[in-house]
Amino acid sequence: MSCVIHGFLPDSLMTVLLVPVVKDKAGKVGSSDNYRPIVLANTLSKVIEAILLSRFCNLIGSTENQFGFKSIHGTDLYIFALKELVSKYKSKNSTVFMCFLDASKAFNWVNHKKLFQKLCDAHVPKYIVRCLSYCTVQICALFDTYYCVFQMEHPHLTLLHRENFIWSLSSFTLLEPYISVLDGDPLQEVVKSVIHQYKISVLPKHPSFRKCINHGDFNDLNILVQPCESDGYRISGILDFGNLNSGYYIYELAITVTYMMIEHPRPIEVGGPVLAGWESVLPLNEAEKECLYVLVLSRFCQSLVIARYAVTLNPENREYLMTTSKKGVHILHQLWELGKEHVEKVWFQSAAQFSDGK
pLDDT at 149: 39
Residue range 134-163: average pLDDT? 62
Q: Which residue has the higher pLDDT, 38 or 341?
A: 341
- Over residues 180-208, mean pLDDT: 93
Across the chain, mean pLDDT equals 84
Q: Identify whether 217 is a catalytic site residue.
A: yes
Q: Residue 156: pLDDT band by 50, 70, 90 thresholds?
A: confident
The pLDDT assigned to 168 comes to 94
44 or 305: which leads in pLDDT: 305
151, pLDDT greater than 60: no
Largest CA-CA distance found in the chain, in angstroms, rounded: 97
Tens of pLDDT, residue by residue over 118-141, are 888 888 887 788 777 777 766 655
- For the chain, report the end-to-end CA distance as a whole number of angstroms: 35
Share of the chain above pLDDT 90, in %: 35
Q: Which of 33, 76, 217, 240 is catalytic?
A: 217
Helix (H, G, I), strand (E, B) or coil at 214: strand
CATH number of 159-356: 3.90.1200.10
Task: Report d(CA 273, CA 352) in Å as an integer.
Answer: 9
Q: Which residue spans of the chain are classified as CATH 3.90.1200.10?
A: 159-356
Percent of the chain with pLDDT over 70: 88
With bands split at pLDDT 50, 70 and 90, how would you rate the model's confidence at 148?
very low
**Beta pairing, strands 245-248 & 211-214:** antiparallel
Q: Residue 149: what are its φ and ψ, rounded to 5°? A: -60, 140
pLDDT attached to residue 196: 96
- For the stretch 73-105, pLDDT in tens is 778 888 888 888 899 888 988 988 888 887 766
Average the pLDDT over 217-228 and give the result: 87
| 225-234 contact pairs (CB < 8 A, 24+) | none
Supply the DSSP string of 62-123, one letter for each residue: --TT--TTSTT--HHHHHHHHHHHHHHHHHTT----------TTHHHH--HHHHHHHHHHTT
Q: What is the pLDDT of residue 169?
A: 94
User: In terms of Cα–Cα distance, which of 281, 292, 273 is closest to 344?
Assistant: 292
Q: How confident is the model at residue 297 (pLDDT cuts 50, 70, 90)?
A: very high
Work out the pLDDT band at 173, boundaries 50, 70, 90: very high
Lowest mean pLDDT among 56-65, 89-98, 139-148, 187-196: 139-148
pLDDT tens profile 225-249: 888 877 788 888 899 988 899 999 9
Query: Contact 307/218 with Cβ under 8 angstroms?
Result: no
The predicted structure's pLDDT at residue 224: 92
Cite the DSSP H helix spans in 158-244: 187-197
